[in-house]
Amino acid sequence: MIKYKNHRRPFIMANRKREVYKPKPITEGKRNLIQGLLQEYNIQSADDIQEALKDLLSGTIQDMLETEMDNHLGYDRYERSGEPNYRNGTKPKTVRSK
């Protein structure tokens, strides 16, 4: 322990051991899944990985956003309530990630 005397009260700094990240071994099922993705998307570079992840996750993220909006408004899409707050629809947007 290190004690610092410049403070009104002694400041004690404990020695902390940092946890080292140790990757878990890949199971056979995960290895087969990765091989299937590599073949399906013909992944050769980091850009190919980014495009594959974008394709795989875009629908899931959109569903999550719509569910969050349903919960926020208190009713599902295409339902009308007595509230003046309603959905006007959506427009396609392009988000640049690079």
Structure-block tokens of residue 13: 């700094």
For 1-34, the pLDDT digits (tens) are 555 555 566 556 667 778 888 888 999 999 999 9
pLDDT bin (cut points 50, 70, 90) of residue 88 is: low
**Does residue 16 lie in a domain region?**
no
Cα separation of 52 and 61, whole Å?
14
Q: Give pTM, 2 decimals.
A: 0.47
Cα separation of 51 and 67, whole Å?
25
Q: Given this model, what pLDDT does residue 77 score? A: 77
Domain encompassing residue 61: 45-75
**Does residue 55 lie in a domain region?**
yes
Taking CA atoms, 76 is separated from 47, 55, 83, 92, in Å, by: 37, 26, 13, 20
Domain tally, the chain: 1
**Does residue 96 lie in a domain region?**
no
**Does residue 59 lie in a domain region?**
yes
Would you state the torsion angle of the CA atoms of residues 34, 38, 43, 46, taken in this order, to the nearest 10 degrees?
0
**Does residue 10 lie in a domain region?**
no
Q: Which helix (H) or strand (E) holds 21?
A: none
For 44-74, the pLDDT digits (tens) are 999 999 999 999 999 999 999 999 988 888 8
**Does residue 56 lie in a domain region?**
yes
Structure-block tokens of residue 55: 């394709």
